[in-house]
A and B are shown apart, each in its own frame.
Chain A
Amino acid sequence: MNNNLIIETKHLTKRFPMGKGEFTALKGIDLTLGKGEFTGLIGPSGSGKTTLLNIIGSLDSPTEGEVIVMGSSVGIMSAKEAARLRKENLGFIFQSYNLLQVHTVYENVEFPLLLLKLSSSERRKMVHDALEWVGLTDKMKQKPPQLSGGECQRVAIARAMVKRPSLVLADEPTANLDAANSHNILQTMVKLNQDLMTTFLFATHDDKVIGYLRRKIYLKDGLVDKIETA
């Protein structure tokens, strides 16, 4: 097996129960993703982007086929193992930021480190670094309701990045942002991808995002339509 491989899917199929029958959201996906990639899943609404991303993120499991993330098979791992995979190796960024509203920027970014049981001095150093990457060191004590959408998404990026995960999964990260903010956070992510060798996998249909991708995986009706490499 290729040591550089971070994600590998083999004939990945996902069916959801629907009424009496079933709905097949993913119809046999074969993909590989290597370390350090900056890649996107592109496709119209309903093409299965989020479904695929969630399975790769071990938030959901495949119906058939196999998904191997950093050497472990998502389909057969226990809930505990899945939580551990997420805790140690994965970062998530969502369209709707999903910040903890009553906690400060600092505390939001610190949270993943609490789960890793790091000492407070380690945490402080890492949170400061992460906030520096996204340019929010001056808003540390503020809470999400006092921030703009762009700032919120940058907090979410800092939270995903703070533990320096191997893989970041970003589902429509720019959908709620204007053009300037979109470019801003994309540039931040490109920089982190280069500096930390973090692998990024996006799900998107936003042209601004697509412009930054080095590899584009087009999905259509639950199947890989085509793959383009820049």
Chain B
Amino acid sequence: MLNYDIIVIGGGPAGLAAAIEAKRNGIENILVIERDRELGGILQQCIHNGFGLHVFKEELTGPEYAERFIDQLHEMGITYKLDTMVLDITESKVISAVNTTDGLMEIQAQVIILAMGCRERTRGAINIPGSRVAGIFTAGTAQRFVNMEGYMVGKNVVILGSGDIGLIMARRMTLEGAKVQAVVELMPYSGGLTRNIVQCLEDFNIPLLLSHTVTNIKGKDRVEEITIAKVDENRRPIKGTEEIYKCDTLLLSVGLIPENELSKSAGIVLDNITGGPVVNESMETSVEGIFACGNVVHVHDLVDWVTEESRRAGKNAARYVKKELKNINEPLVTKAEKGIRYIVPHQIRVENIDSKLDLYMRVDNIYHNAKIVVKSGETVIKQVKKPHLAPGEMESVTLLQKDLINLENRELTVELLEGGEQ
């Protein structure tokens, strides 16, 4: 059986950064497995700019960001297999993968790093009634068609969902000559970055219909019209508010879900809010020696954080191989309280932190002038003022190792205090 110290599954930004960092930390025998025909992951289709401001201190497009890491991977001589799909992984870290040249392979790894990214929710996942017709795409699929295959998916478009991919595609379709009639959002606020609302919608006078949804789709072979209605505070369509939009295309940007079929097959414990594995400070999952990073853990809105998190995974995977990861004290457990939906990591073994650790989290609503407070029992460990918080924007709080040593209470709670309160 082929044998590697570290096998990284997925060659997107997460897998690339993890592999590079593992090599930097002294591991020679690394393999990256990617099912696509090239490295770079989803970034290759994200041709717009806005990537890399934190990591490179300049604004890059997705492909430029990816190419820097791909070049580095080459320079460091890290091996990878393209067009290779991982089918299964076991708790004992045997990977089954398949491609057309090697056929079906079994490879033994000492450490596995999961970096499979996420996939898009489809129409089935949100249940829109109406005809099963052509002309309905997820926004990401449309992005790939338009930006990589040169295939224009439609001329007269409505977009459901105002997450970043939906907003980016509204602009992209407009630039390519399509008419985007509206972006329809179920919630009373957009899930996308403000920057994208300004640059992708306002610049082109594309209306953003908040608290609205698509209630019906009609057409013979292809979409011909869709019905859009207002929703009440329980997100139920309000009778009498229906409006018909004539269009030939509906793009769905209704959320991303971590890709975790493989994680499940290895018996990894998943967090049912993020949909990704439960991880500790080293980005190690519940199965010892299996690490995870990037969108497979939780959906990131900025690739820069994917890189940061994945470097941490790669470095710690290397430490694991070198038997340097410690398991001394009972880990601290992070707990999301008022206003916070989830926190990554879920567990912290303080002895493994290099001086500081970033907690990543998402809030459950829009807040102004709030405070994120991290506590152990009644002791406040850290509090950070936040002028503006939104569910679409991931937040991070940096904790210092010295503040986490010898805590009596092993639970670390994070909550939001709104403006008025203190």
A binds B: no
